[in-house]
Structure 1
């Protein structure tokens, strides 16, 4: 629980990106509040990969260790709650929580991640992050050589298919609708022995989140060991928009190379503004924290 309401920086989101930003700020003696509701998007994922020194570790173990290290800095506080609204002020910002609390910060860092929108397919959500995954960099090595399906269509399927094809020679694209490929793209898929199934998927049969087979609307079934899925996502909170932050065409928060948004004093890092990975979240969080401190320093020195 926060013991006061005014801070140099308020960080919304207390997973990898938010904690990384907080460490940079805590080491500069900035008064920081992290607001987090304890619902990271990778909470079902059993192991984190492609993050050097932590390869294969459980995501919650990395987060717990990071939180313990960050909170050793006396000027950093962690507040369990859900930020629901915010306002611009002349010399900072206000953030309001679901519980009715109000906090004031000179700078704001959004480290809120993203919320995946699950398709209405029985069993899909239970497998998400376990055997139904989104990223070959995060999961591909462990799924190498396995019988693999890919739920996507059109250009997105070609992009993912090329990456996954390097990891297995047993790949099938499941469009769940009429395939949207040009003749040239179909030739490329055929050349790499990638099948295309256009039938609608109604169920992902599994045991404890481990996929067994895909069941189609017509009753046909196909067994798979793993499934990649390109599914849509949405922002965890709408506060960036309320503060005036611009978005990219892909609905990420628009930032520059220093994690600065289009609104002075507001930064964004982690999944909400770019590549979705633990390593990227930590790197961009560190940058956001350093740049927020740099702005504060310029204003005060």
Structure 2
């Protein structure tokens, strides 16, 4: 890879969304560079679910197979590096890596994901992606019927509880502070015998990532076998926002129905642009972003 290479598209992020975009572009003979630092957000998760043909497979195995298939297209290249800066150019856009290499292309696709901010709770990070999870669609079937805690508050908690309740009726809400629910929501919880605990959490007792107990700051504890957590997050890469891409109120990159950001020539896909954090959605949105970037190039060149 050289700084002066004539690229059509740079894809920042080489997990499921980025690789899906690269395949769509490679099959259209576009000269593509995928830049990836090797830190997918689901790297701690032992198995991926709810993705047809790959249900139960290891996330790394899915990504490895996808990368091998994408790189069979000779116009696609893969660079193991961290992208740190971006700028607009006369031709399109330039991306600079941590090593100082700058590459330029006509279009950009960001598949950079989001960074979850772990709470300062002992044992939480050890359980994340194993028994402490974010999504009932990705993990709920395997956790069905278990004693389950919901670490969330307000509307987010109510929505999550309604989904998880179809999988287990052994639920406790852990708001880690004053509960923020309407009288109607509290009545619903009461009807389903769902307890609300407002005491802050000090630690999770676990065995090799399998949570066994929530230890509260008042000295009490709650036996649990699974925990859903709604975590705050930020964009994994600051480059899109620095270039001028707008964010939604929730903190996702704002895209339209075909994955275009608010900056002309720039697309986004995967977790960075959508709250539906699943492999299947990443693959779908990546394919759309790749196809739309190719369509834009085709129209400009025709």
Q: What band does the TM-score fall into relative to the shorter chain?
A: over 0.9
Measured in 1, the distance between the counterparts of 2:156 and 2:262 equals: 28
Equivalent residue, structure 2, for 1:276: 277
SS of structure 2 residue aligned to 1:254? coil
Deviation, structure 1 residue 3: 8.2
The 5-angstrom pairing of residues 148-167 of structure 1 reads 148-167=148-167
Work out whether 1:256 is the aligned partner of 2:256: yes
Q: Is the 8 A contact 2:150 2:174 kept in 1?
A: yes
Could you say which residue in structure 2 is the equivalent of 1:223? 223
In structure 1, how many angstroms separate the alpha carbons of the residues matched to 2:23 and 2:73?
8
Q: Once the 2 structures are TM-superposed, how far is the Cα of residue 14 of structure 1 from its aligned partner?
A: 0.1
Normalised by the length of structure 2, the TM-score is 0.98
User: Quick one: distance in 2 between partners of 1:18 and 1:213?
Assistant: 38
**Map 1:27-38 → 2, pairs under 5 A:** 27-38=27-38
Instruction: For residues 172-226 of structure 1, give each alpha carbon's deviation from its aligned partner in whole angstroms, at most 9, with x where no partner exists.
Output: 0011111111221111100111111111101011111110101011111111110
Which residue of structure 2 lines up, in the alignment, with residue 299 of structure 1?
300
Distance 2:98 2:264 in 1: 25
Give the aligned partner of residue 187 of structure 1. 187
1:6 Cα deviation from its structure 2 partner: 3.2
**TM-score, normalized by length of structure 1?**
0.98
Residue 91 of structure 1, CA deviation: 2.3
What is the CA–CA distance in structure 1 between the aligned matches of 2:239 and 2:209, rounded to whole Å?
A: 33
CA RMSD of aligned residues (A): 1.0
Task: Please say if residues 2 and 77 of structure 1, whose CA atoms lie closer than 8 Å, have aligned partners that are also in contact.
Answer: no
Cα deviation for residue 5 of structure 1 reads 3.5
Structure 2 CA distance, aligned partners of 1:6 and 1:125? 42
Give the Cα–Cα distance (whole angstroms) in 2 for the partners of residues 154 and 28 of structure 1: 46
Rounded Cα–Cα distance in structure 2 between residues aligned with 1:48 and 1:213: 25
User: How far did residue 2 of structure 1 move?
Assistant: 5.8
Matched, 1:109 2:121: no
**More divergent stretch after superposition (175-184 vs 104-113):** 175-184
Query: Does the aligned pair in 2 maintain the 1:2–1:79 contact within 8 Å?
Result: no
2:81 is equivalent to residue 81 of structure 1: yes
Taking the aligned partners of 2:148 and 2:254, their CA distance within structure 1 comes to 34
Instruction: Report the alpha carbon displacement of residue 4 of structure 1 after superposing the two structures with TM.
Output: 5.5
Determine helix, strand or coil for the equivalent of 1:256. coil
Which runs of no fewer than 5 residues in structure 1 stay unpaired?
Answer: none
Counterpart-to-counterpart distance in 2, 1:279 and 1:2: 33
Tell me how far apart the structure 1 counterparts of residues 62 and 96 of structure 2 sit (CA, whole Å): 28
- How many angstroms apart in 1 are the aligned matches of 2:262 and 2:210? 42
Structure 2 portions without partners, runs of 5+:
none
CA positional deviation for 1:90: 2.3
Partner of 2:259: helix, strand, or coil?
A: coil
- Give the CA deviation at 1:75: 0.6
The answer for the alignment partner of 1:120 in structure 2 is 120
Aligned twin of 2:145: 145
- Do structure 1's residue 136 and structure 2's residue 136 form an aligned pair? yes
Q: 1:138–1:155: structure 2 CA closer, same or farther, 3 Å change rule?
A: same
Q: How much has 1:109 moved relative to structure 2?
A: 0.2
Which residue is 2:288 aligned to?
287
